C-alpha cells in the first residue's frame, strides 16, 4: 500500500509542484499565437489572459522596439493594421517610408514613437471577420508586462517570445554600449529568471522557447543564454532576412544538422510541410520535413492554425478538430501555433486527457500490488 501511495503521489506531483500545476509535456504544445487573438486584439493583455484561461501551454509574442529602446509586444513594425494611430492627429506627421526585409513600406513605425506615446494608442482587431467589439479598449504592452502575465498565472504557463525583425530594429534603434536588440531581449529574460536547457528543472519552473526567423540572432542569443530556441521558417519563396538564404538551403539536412547545434526545433509555416493545391484547396503529398527534423532530434512547431473556413482546407470539412487530428496524429508535430487556444485545448482534452497519467499509474501499481500479495501466499 505504501508503494501504491508513493507511485500515485509521484504521478500527481509530476504536474503539481509548489502550489501550481506544472506545464504538461506529454502531448503537443498548445501555443497561443499572439494570445487568443481569434477572440481579442492580438498581443494585448486581454488576449493573453484569455489564452491562459482557455488552457494554453505557451503564450506567444513578437518582440520589437520603441524609439527609446523599450521592448514591446507587437507583430508588425508598423502600427497601421492593429492600432488606432490613424485617429490620432498629433501623430499625422510621423508617417515614414523605410525598407523592411527587402520591401518598401510606408506607415507609422514603432521605432519612431516613444513608449509613452505608444501607450496612448489602443489596439484593434486585425481581421474584419473577427469580433470588433474590443477595438479601442486595450493598450500595447511591454515585454516585461507580458512576462508578468505568465508569471502571475495560477498555473505554470510558458512564454514563447520572438526576436522580431532584428535587422530592421537594430538599424533604427540604438542602445548604450553598442548593445543590440538580442542583448536587451536576453537581459530581460534573465532579469525574470528565465534560464535552463529544455526540460531541465529550471526550465520546467519557467518554461520558454526563444524564436526567430533570423538564424544569426538565434546563434547570437545562444552565446547569452541556454534557454531553448526555435528556428522559424517562412514560405518557400522567402529568403532569410539576415543571411539571405533560400528555403531549400535552410531545410536541407546539412543545414538542419548545423542549426541543431543552437536550436531544439523548427517552426515552419504549415502549408510548406503539406502544400495545398491552390485550385482545389485540398492537401497534396506531405513533404518529409517533419520526418527529417525529427531525425535531427529537432521538434516541429508549425504555424498558424485558425478556425475560420478560409483557412481550413476542404480535406477537413470546415472542422478545425479534423485539422488538429491530422497534424497531431498523421503528421506528428510537437506543438501548434493557434489563434484559437480553446479549440485546440478542447480537442486535446477529449482525445488525450492529462489525468489519464494518474489513472494509468494507479492501474499499474494495483497490478504490482496484486502480484506481490500473490507471491506472499506462496512463500
Catalytic residue numbers, as ranges: 33, 75
Strand residues in the chain grouped as ranges (E)? 16-17, 20-21, 29-32, 58-65, 71-73, 96-100, 103-107, 158-163, 210-212, 229-233, 265-268, 276-277, 282-283, 299-300, 335-338
Pick the closest to residue 195 from 183, 185, 208 (CA basis): 208
Angstrom distance (rounded) from CA 276 to CA 313 = 8
Cis peptide before 304 (omega within 30 of 0): yes
- Asked if residues 275 and 287 have their Cβ atoms less than 8 Å apart, the reply is yes
- Measured in Å, how far apart are the chain's first and last C-alpha atoms? 19
- Asked if residues 202 and 196 have their Cβ atoms less than 8 Å apart, the reply is yes
Angstrom distance (rounded) from CA 107 to CA 125 = 18
Angstrom distance (rounded) from CA 175 to CA 330 = 47
Pick the closest to residue 240 from 212, 272, 274, 209 (CA basis): 212
Angstrom distance (rounded) from CA 249 to CA 234 = 12
- The label of the residue with cell 516613444 reads 114
- Decide the pairing of beta strands 20-21 and 16-17: antiparallel
How big is the CA angle at 322 (ends 320 and 327), to the nearest 5 degrees?
95
Angstrom distance (rounded) from CA 51 to CA 60 = 10
Amino acid at each position: 500500500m505504501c508503494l501504491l501511495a508513493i507511485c500515485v503521489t509521484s504521478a500527481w506531483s509530476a504536474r503539481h509542484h509548489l502550489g501550481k500545476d506544472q506545464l504538461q509535456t506529454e502531448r503537443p504544445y498548445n501555443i497561443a499565437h499572439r494570445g487568443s487573438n481569434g477572440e481579442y486584439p492580438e498581443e494585448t493583455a486581454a488576449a493573453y489572459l484569455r489564452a491562459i484561461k482557455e488552457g494554453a501551454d505557451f503564450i506567444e509574442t513578437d518582440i520589437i522596439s520603441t524609439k527609446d529602446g523599450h521592448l514591446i509586444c507587437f507583430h508588425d513594425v508598423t502600427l497601421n493594421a492593429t492600432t488606432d494611430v490613424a485617429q490620432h492627429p498629433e501623430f499625422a506627421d510621423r508617417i515614414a517610408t523605410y525598407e523592411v526585409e527587402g520591401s518598401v513600406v510606408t506607415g507609422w513605425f514603432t521605432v519612431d514613437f516613444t513608449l509613452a506615446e505608444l501607450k496612448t494608442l489602443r489596439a484593434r482587431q486585425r481581421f474584419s471577420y473577427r469580433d470588433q467589439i474590443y477595438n479601442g479598449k486595450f493598450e500595447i504592452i511591454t515585454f516585461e508586462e507580458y512576462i508578468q502575465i505568465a508569471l502571475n498565472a495560477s498555473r505554470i504557463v510558458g512564454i514563447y517570445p520572438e526576436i522580431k525583425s532584428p535587422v530592421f530594429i537594430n538599424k533604427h534603434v540604438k542602445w548604450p554600449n553598442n548593445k543590440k536588440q538580442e542583448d536587451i531581449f536576453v537581459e530581460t529574460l534573465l532579469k525574470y529568471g528565465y534560464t535552463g536547457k529544455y526540460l531541465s528543472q529550471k526550465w520546467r519552473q519557467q518554461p520558454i522557447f526563444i524564436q526567430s526567423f533570423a538564424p544569426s540572432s538565434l546563434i547570437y542569443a545562444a552565446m547569452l543564454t541556454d534557454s531553448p530556441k526555435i528556428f522559424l521558417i517562412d514560405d518557400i519563396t522567402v529568403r532569410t532576412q539576415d543571411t539571405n538564404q533560400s528555403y531549400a538551403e535552410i531545410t536541407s539536412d546539412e543545414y538542419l544538422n548545423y542549426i541543431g547545434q543552437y536550436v531544439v526545433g523548427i517552426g515552419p509555416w504549415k502549408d510548406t510541410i503539406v502544400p495545398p493545391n491552390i485550385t482545389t484547396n485540398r492537401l497534396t503529398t506531405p513533404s518529409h520535413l517533419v520526418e527529417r527534423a525529427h531525425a535531427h532530434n529537432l521538434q516541429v512547431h508549425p504555424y498558424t492554425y485558425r478556425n475560420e473556413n478560409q483557412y481550413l482546407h476542404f480535406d477537413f470539412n470546415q472542422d478545425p478538430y479534423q485539422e488538429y487530428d491530422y497534424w497531431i496524429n498523421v503528421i506528428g508535430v510537437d506543438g501548434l501555433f493557434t489563434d484559437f487556444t480553446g479549440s485546440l485545448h478542447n480537442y486535446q482534452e477529449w482525445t488525450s486527457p492529462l489525468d489519464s497519467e494518474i489513472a494509468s499509474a494507479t492501474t499499474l501499481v494495483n497490478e504490482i500490488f496484486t502480484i506481490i500479495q500473490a507471491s506472499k501466499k506462496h512463500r
